[in-house]
Amino acid sequence: PGVRSRPADRRCGAGWKEAVAAAAGALQAGGLVALPTDTVYGVACLAQDSAAVRSIYSLKGRNGEKPLAICLGDVERLYRYCQVNVPDELLRDLLPGPVTLVLKRSEELNKDLNPFTSLVGVRIPNHPFVRELARACSGPLALTSANISCQASTLTVSEFQDLWPQLSLIIDGGPIGDVQSPECRLGSTVVDLSVSGKFTIIRPGCALTSTVEILKQKYGLIPESA
């Protein structure tokens, strides 16, 4: 696979643009791309490409009943793929950020993606490369963590070396957080907002306290137990 470095904090420059273009090209060709996010390393494919979605499950050795999230570059695009029953301001208070919002899916979304559920998790990572890549693709990305199912999340590209042979491209963004810290491997906080006026924490993740505070105190949503 191609291992491509990107400038750590620069959004411009040939290296950045080349990496986005290379990743977008690999995705459009049905490939799987490993990339950094704002929480852990992820693997992405085009959510509307059923063969690529099957490849992600195969890569992870994952039960087909475990849903994949979709990843978008901007909040505005979320309305095309989800039925939103919360204020737009709430979405923007949490996204982009280390939170996955679970909402009812729309008819636009590939029916082969999580066909066993009417819901879908949505991620807009607070990471400029991922957002730029998502904007460069026509539809949403399917996104999952870059690790074999049930193994620890990864914070460097070397930690998921076992997956390299099955990847079309690897974007090396350097270490994400402190590799010695278990807290850095928690992944996003997953919260179900599909029931009006309520929220359910599905996975505590790394942003639990701030997410619950916003949902309860600012928007008056009532917590339910998963």
All structural domains of the chain with their residue ranges:
14-177
- Tens digits of per-residue pLDDT, 136-149? 998 999 999 999 88
- As a whole number of angstroms, the distance between CA 163 and CA 95 comes to 29
The pLDDT of residue 182: 85
The pLDDT of residue 226: 59
Return the closest-CA partner of residue 46 out of 62, 33, 35, 58. Answer: 33
The pLDDT of residue 181: 86
Helix (H, G, I), strand (E, B) or coil at 180: coil
β-strands 169-172, 222-224: how paired? unpaired
- As a whole number of angstroms, the distance between CA 117 and CA 196 comes to 18
0.75 exceeded by pTM: yes
With contact defined as beta carbons under 8 Å apart, do 51 and 113 qualify?
no
Query: Domain 14-177 is in which class?
Result: alpha beta
Q: Which helix (H) or strand (E) holds 64?
A: none
User: For tokens 């899916």, what's the residue?
Assistant: 105
Q: Token pair for residue 160? A: 């998921």
Q: How many CB atoms lie within 10 A of CB 146?
A: 27
Ranges of residues in the chain whose predicted pLDDT is under 70? 1-14, 226
Q: Which helix (H) or strand (E) holds 127?
A: none
